[in-house]
A and B are shown apart, each in its own frame.
Chain A
Amino acid sequence: MNFLQSLEISATGLYAQRKRMDVIASNLANIETTHTKKGGPYRRKMIVMSPKPVEGFDKTLALQAEGVKIDDIVEDKSPFRKAYNPSHPDADKDGYVLKPNVDLIIETTNMLLARRAFEANIAAIKSTKQMALKALEIGR
């Protein structure tokens, strides 16, 4: 049992939140992307997380402290937005352009959540550090 494991758990949390932030940034950057290599407009991406046992944890330990890992990045299957703009090169025969299913408000909210979750993990790391430093005082 050592503090490095607690730190590692929090680090997986930091990593996951940062990756989530990457995906949100990608969604926001492509909010108006009307054609992609796959064809059709950009599809909003989402992150799927699952718990991950930390390596080196004593297998006999009943304690199940787990980190987090990113399972998959999936695409949002919800319908695209439609905008009337007949002069646009990606417009269909009726003059409608399909726009990505990215919602600015949803992305902004997720961005805030990711930031707060990141901060929560930082707080946990700070706490771990304080405890480790306090433990170092024993025997001084």
Chain B
Amino acid sequence: MPDKLSFKKTFHALERAISIAHQRHSLISSNISNLDTSNYKAKDIDFKTALSQTLESDHEISLARTNPRHMELGTNSANSIEPFEEKGKWNGYNWVDIDKEMTRLAENNLRYRAATETLLRKMAILKEVIREGGR
């Protein structure tokens, strides 16, 4: 199965990584916009744990659907990641630390770009193989 070899694992893992980085980005944006909300607790997800959890749960069994009205079993496992409330410091107003959030924003942005870039390079390799294979 050539397509299984070339597409399956890396593409899948990268897709999940991008999806998790995106969700994390939403959370960090949310923390930043709630910078001045009293009693607000910053939320986050742990990238590594989330990724390994998602990849593990993707290996679990799936149900065969013989009728389009059958429900899918846990459609997108990337959506089931539970964010946790950060144990930050009380700054006299809420639990958001702006320095931490900005660092996370930058870090997560890099993760996202790294995953996307890897995906792009993987594609470039495939393209190369397609182009040069016929020679």
Contacts and interface: CB of A to CB of B under 8 A. Distances in A.
Interface of B: 18-19, 21-23, 25-30, 32-38, 40, 43, 45, 79-83, 98, 101-102, 105-106, 109, 112-113, 116-117, 119-120, 123
Contacts of B34: 13, 49, 51, 66-68
A120 B113 contact: no
B83 A64 contact: yes
B79 A60 contact: yes
A124 interface: yes
User: At the interface, is chain B mostly helix, strand, loop or mixed?
Assistant: helix
Contacts, number: 122
28 contacts: A1-B19, A6-B26, A9-B26, A13-B29, A13-B35, A16-B36, A47-B36, A51-B34, A51-B37, A60-B79, A62-B79, A62-B80, A62-B81, A62-B82, A63-B23, A65-B27, A120-B35, A120-B98, A120-B101, A121-B32, A124-B28, A124-B33, A127-B109, A128-B25, A130-B109, A131-B22, A134-B116, A137-B116
